[in-house]
Structure 1
Amino acid sequence: MMTRPVIVPPATPAPETGAEIALSVRGLTIALPKSMERRFAVEDVSFDLRRGQILCVVGESGSGKSVTANTLLGLLPRAMKTTAGSITLEGREVIGMGAEDLRDLRGRVVSMIFQDPLSALNPLMTVGAQVDEAMAAHGIGTPDTRRTSTIALLQEVGLPDPALMYHQYPFRLSGGQRQRVMIAMALALEPTILIADEPTTALDVTTQAQILTLIRDIQRRKGMSVMFITHDFGVVAEIADSVVVMEKGHVVEEGPADRVLRAPRHEYTQRLIAAVPHLRGDDRPKPAGAEEPPVLEVRNLVKTYASGSALLRTRRVVPAVQDVSFRLARGSTLGIVGESGSGKSSLGRLLVRLMEADSGQILFEGEDIAPLPEPKFRSFRQKIQMIFQDPFASLNPRMTVGTILTVGPMAYGVKASDARAQAHEMLQLVGLDRGAFGRYPHEFSGGQRQRIGIARALMFRPRLLVADEAVSALDVSIQAQILELLERIQRETGVSMVFITHDLRVASQICDEIAVMHKGRIVEHGPPSQIFMSPRSDYTRELVAAIPGEDFQRGAAAVALT
């Protein structure tokens, strides 16, 4: 039987109920299906969101943060049942509320920004139509006034060329741009309460800073109450008025943000703060293969995207990668950092030939693979593997983990028995037990799915790994484990890595060299000591300055563990 965590009482008395409280949760308990590893998703959870304040709910994956938020909106999955508790939202009881009343509540009184904008947005509708739909569902305005309001919202959340963006489909936007669309939809009806479920997790540091500033500005200007769900105490330091810390379905600590950040009482809170990556400016020792010929050399690589119609004046040309050149030494890691839309992921896809370059060379172990037709390039796919940003979308939900790991090697002629043995070996290498072999992706947490993605990439024993935002959506503690795992794998196998990330703190932990991309170009390239401590480019200086909570993080880990 699991031991319930020790609950640390709040440092200050619970806030008064009544007019000051926008949201009150009391004794909330939600049961999980019997097959799960614990009985309750959340148990006896109580907290208040004061009117006009930002409450940050912090915890790792599986702590119950998102389950609590979804319950507030009546979006709890059917497999979960609310067995006890009360949720009062602007004076109205949510538990037991009918479907019609819940629909009226959503958007108008309370709105939610979801963590994954790609799955939350309709791929068959334009951006403008989806924001417009949120207003039309509540009978707001006419088509013309809604269009005007939508374009104004798209401009308010910082999207470029809002009139053109109105007609774009979600797949044409970067991750940061899609998140801004989600925020525009959530603000369409000017709700009094905003629930933000990890809205900045997958965003670059400057976009993250802009979104945090935007939410704080809107909250102050409109007197809105915000429940901000996050796993990053750096974000908490930037935005929170008060904090609730959750572990395995229980509230283990709560209080004013300054007190929780500076003097955390619970051991779990201390561990979370200590796990937040801080910016390192020292250089790693050179790998053993640094003096050998590079495993990868890129020369003058170019890729341009074109969309729309010149006839309809919707033609859009985006130079994704412009004249990019770099070298990657054997056994070393090159970090590619930059904002959303800077060309990082496009560069990664070019390197593994998931799309064709317009011009330039990609020399892998001395051979130019850029112009090779697919049949000739096929033999290189075993040597060049990719770890994708979204492990859930990149894993086939209809296949077991064992099939996912073995189907690739078997397609290249490996015997089924040998492939299975190797799969078990890789699962052990990435920290998963043998039982994972027969399970499906949806049965794992985000961090575990990312480990499966790493295991799949390693099944071919590659010489080059391209990791595209491989830890961006993970909790800070899981993130630290994955970074340690990648570093250990690199030491043991000698694999070279291109590590694409928007998080400069993460890049400083694992990379030997850093290339900073801006609008498709590399604007600065050098060791971490130069990039983070003495940046030469104005753009790099802006990126470093935008890291959330960096002043707090420099000393927080040491304070938390004393």
Structure 2
Amino acid sequence: MAVTTEAVTAGDAALSVRGLTVDLPKGMERAHAVENVSFDLRRGQILCIIGESGSGKSVTANTIMGLLPKIIPVSSGAINLDGTGIVDAPAKKLRQLRGRVVSMIFQDPLSALNPLMTVGEQVTEVMAAHGVGTKASRRDRALELLTEVGLPDPDLMYHQYPFRLSGGQRQRVMIAMALALEPTVLIADEPTTALDVTTQAQILKLIRDIQRRKDMSVMFITHDFGVVAEIADSVVVMEKGRIVEQGTADQVLKSPSHPYTKRLIAAVPRLTGEDRKLKVQTSDEAILTVNGLCKTYRSGSALFGSQRVVPAVQDASFTLAAGRTLGIVGESGSGKSSLGRLLIKLQDSDSGQILFEGKDIVKLSESEFRPLRPRIQMIFQDPFASLNPRSTIGQILTVGPVAHGMPYAQAREEARALLSHVGLDAGAFGRYPHEFSGGQRQRIGIARALMFKPKLLIADEAVSALDVSIQAQILKLLDQIQRETGVSMVFITHDLRVASQICDEIAVMQKGRVVERGPPSQIFLKPQSDYTRELVAAIPGERGRDT
């Protein structure tokens, strides 16, 4: 299909890309990371580039920044950045442009920030590299930027190290660094993907406000059409390195012409507000009952007055019936993941009860609990980090059951059957984790959990890092597995749209406490807690766009 775009004069475009092709090394699944890509970013507008993993979004951004590794060279095309051609520009010229003319906010601020430098040092370093101002003026400018991006107590924040900040705070530091020299073009590469809904809403509003105030041009990379609906002026849709559609945000969102765009929009989880319909008969008998569960983290030294006390879970109580799904939702730091680790006894509780099939597992020692472990399994957030890179998929799936007494031949057959069940071919058994995509690795994580035929699954942010289309596939798979096996699930997520799709009941956590519990119809349509109302109002694409 031919992709047409409205003509933009050179003076109107802050960034112009024409016929860009970036080659991939030989032997890869396709010849080009990006092929014949052309688009314009108008001055003072936000252009969203959307597509799944592998579509070429980040490669395009890194090409514009001059950050491509030598193994994937630009083979043809031109990039004009505020009147300067940057393809084949010398390294010195590119260094002069970075930060001053074009800046980038990276997807993972923790890995992008230097762990050995304070926040203030990293913000002032950008200015020092370009010889801007004196040491005192750079410090004043850094404090001004930290205030502008909404960080609390900028004087204190200036001296903090990145590991002491939350995900949203680290992302604000990245934005402050990117804005230090007031660039003409700001590139934001998935800056809100791993953030909870309220922090995401704050970051989107911050970027939009700064863009309007400074009349900046923003290229925003995302895989979430909910985000596009919030901030985009124009949209470019990419699939497998090619642009398949582009136009204004209204055109692409309301009248998409390409089948791929339609699939992406259809895959975005919607806030249903409807209670889940059960297709199989389930028992009202509780498989899990939690009473007054508490966990407090302590660090530092009480003797030297540096002890830090964080109540992670406070007096949590709820019940989960057999064959049902309980969603645990809340912002980062609300205690969701801590609660999940307590339920599977990866951490010890300070007090309270966890009754699993009527037996209090809080009181059990590790040796006493070990026979119960196969019955309670966990699906982790990061499927790559939770899979042993030195083991084949077959070894990963069979080692647990074999350790619990299952004959290897039986474990092997069950593993192959499960791989087929979660949508992977038989050849996956002998391959290694790095040979699979993120969505495929998450399927392997689900298969590993199901090898024990568990009664209870704890899914900790199991789909948060996946593309919307892969996310939809995994949610459908979990729903299918539950209906076939009757397994009960505790589904931990910060995405309320996902929770509304798969959960029978939802518990909302804030600062370690369950502040509200009920079916999706109550939580999303008639929330009782002010905090729940804030969460629902912050869902991207579900509220009116800021004007």
**Alignment TM class, shorter chain as reference:** over 0.9
Q: What corresponds to 1:374 in structure 2?
A: 366
Does structure 2 retain, via aligned residues, the 8 Å contact 1:54–1:226?
yes
Q: Name which of 295, 300, 317 aligns with 2:287.
A: 295
AA aligned opposite 1:242 = S
In the alignment, the residues of structure 1 paired with residue 158 and residue 449 of structure 2 have an alpha-carbon distance, to the nearest angstrom, of 38
Residue type of the alignment partner of 2:292: N
Q: Say which SS state the counterpart of residue 192 (structure 2) adopts.
A: coil
Farther-moved stretch of structure 1 (324-333 vs 440-449)? 440-449
Distance 1:123 1:271, change over 3 A: same
How is 1:52-131 mapped onto 2 (pairs within 5 angstroms)?
A: 52-131=44-123
Alpha carbons of 1:131 and 1:439: their partners in 2 closer, same or farther (altered >3 Å)?
Answer: farther
Q: TM-score, normalised by structure 1?
A: 0.90
Q: Secondary structure at the match of 1:372?
A: coil
Q: Select 2:393's aligned residue among 401, 410, 429.
A: 401
The one of 310, 324, 338 equivalent to 1:332 is 324
1:291 corresponds to which letter in structure 2? Answer: D
The structural deviation recorded for 1:404 is 2.8
Task: Report matched runs for 1:188-337 at 5 Å.
Answer: 188-286=180-278, 288-292=281-285, 294-308=286-300, 315-337=307-329
Contact kept, 8 Å, 1:234 with 1:552, in 2: the verdict is no
What is the aligned partner in structure 2 of residue 344 from structure 1?
Answer: 336
Determine the C-alpha separation between the residues in 2 that align with 1:543 and 1:44.
Answer: 41
User: Does 1:157 find its partner at 2:149?
Assistant: yes
Question: Residue 16 of structure 1 aligns with which residue?
Answer: 9
- 1:300-330 CA-to-partner distances (Å, cap 9, x unmatched) read 1222233456687765433221111111111
Q: CA deviation at 1:199?
A: 1.2
C-alpha separation in 1, matches of 2:156 and 2:378: 33
- Secondary structure of the corresponding residue to residue 462 of structure 1: coil
Cα distance in structure 2, aligned partners of 1:357 and 1:154: 38
Q: Is the 8 A contact 1:7 1:251 kept in 2?
A: no
Aligned counterpart, 1:434: 426
Q: Report deviation, 1:339.
A: 1.5
| Amino acid in the other structure paired with 1:508 | S
Unpaired stretches in structure 1, ≥5 consecutive residues: 1-5, 554-562
Residue 519 (structure 1) aligned to one of 486, 511, 514: 511
The CA RMSD over aligned residues, in Å, is 2.5
C-alpha contact 2:334 2:512 (8 A) present in aligned 1: yes
Deviation at 1:64, TM superposition (A): 1.0
Report SS of the residue matched to 2:247. strand
Contact 2:537 2:543 in 1 (8 A): no
Distance between the aligned counterparts of 1:153 and 1:381, measured in 2? 50
Question: For residue 439 of structure 2, what is the aligned residue in structure 1?
Answer: 447
Query: Bigger CA drift: 472-481 or 124-133?
Result: 124-133
Measured in 2, the distance between the counterparts of 1:122 and 1:411 equals 42
Could you say if the C-alpha distance between residues 137 and 495 of structure 1 is closer, same or farther in structure 2, counting changes exceeding 3 Å? farther
* 1:404–1:65 distance in 2 versus 1, CA, 3 Å: same
Measure, in 1, the Cα distance between the counterparts of 2:415 and 2:320.
28
1:472 aligns with 2:458: no
Shift of 1:121: 3.5
Please report how far the alpha carbon of residue 144 of structure 1 lies from its aligned counterpart in structure 2 after TM superposition: 5.8
Deviation at 1:534, TM superposition (A): 1.0
Q: Equivalents in 1 of 2:208, 2:486: separation in Å?
A: 45
- Inter-partner Cα distance in structure 2 for 1:150 and 1:322: 38
Q: Deviations over 1:393-431 (max 9, x none)?
A: 333333333333333334434444433333322221211
Match for residue 45 of structure 1? 37
**Any conservation in 1 of the 2:294–2:314 contact (CA below 8 Å)?**
yes
Normalised by the length of structure 2, the TM-score is 0.92
Whole-angstrom CA distance in 2 between matches of 1:540 and 1:498: 19
Deviation at 1:289, TM superposition (A): 3.4
* Correspondent of 1:496 among 477, 488, 493: 488
The number of residues matched between the two structures is 544
Match status 1:7 vs 2:2: yes
Higher mean C-alpha deviation, range 153-162 or range 26-35: 153-162
CA distance in 2, matches of 1:542, 1:515: 15
Q: Check conservation: 1:8, 1:265, Cα contact below 8 A.
A: no
Displacement of 1:198: 1.2
Give me the whole-angstrom Cα distance separating, in 1, the residues matched to 2:161 and 2:391. Answer: 29
User: Contact 1:26 / 1:86 at 8 angstroms: preserved in 2?
Assistant: yes
Q: CA deviation at 1:465?
A: 1.3
